[in-house]
Amino acid sequence: MLEHNREVAKDMNTDDLSALIENSPDRSWVSSASCGDIGLERLDLFFVDAGRTLSSEAMAICRFCEVRRDCLQHAYANEIAGGYFGGVSPVKRRTLDLDAAMAVIEDEPGSTA
């Protein structure tokens, strides 16, 4: 299942992501998302090509987002392979389980997670 979702995620765009979030049964946190203010058309800030790191602008948005933990949980619960969720890269999510990823964001200097 996870491998299947990884294949699907390779072709995922921001419209797909928006639909995935909006169709999620636990999306109450979305209304408090810091990235919600930047507009869906700029969600590509959170989807970077392999080998590149997230922009400092996007990292700052995630670091101080009050629903960062919910966002990260959402990515794990829905096995979303692409994009930065909770400010955690897809590569890092593949190598860490949810608890370890939560510990990483909680330990970041200045993090509100």
The binding site for ligand SF4 (CB under 6 A) comprises: 33-35, 46, 61-62, 65, 67-68, 71, 85-87
**Residue 85 dihedral angles phi and psi, to the nearest 5°:** -120, 130
Nearer to ligand SF4, 7 or 113 (CB): 113
Nearer to ligand SF4, 6 or 108 (CB): 108
Name the minimum Å distance from CB 1 to ligand SF4: 23
Name the minimum Å distance from CB 20 to ligand SF4: 13
Nearer to ligand SF4, 4 or 19 (CB): 19
Name the minimum Å distance from CB 67 to ligand SF4: 5
Contacts 24+ apart (CB under 8 A), 57-62: 58/84, 58/87, 59/87, 61/34, 61/35, 62/34, 62/35, 62/86, 62/87
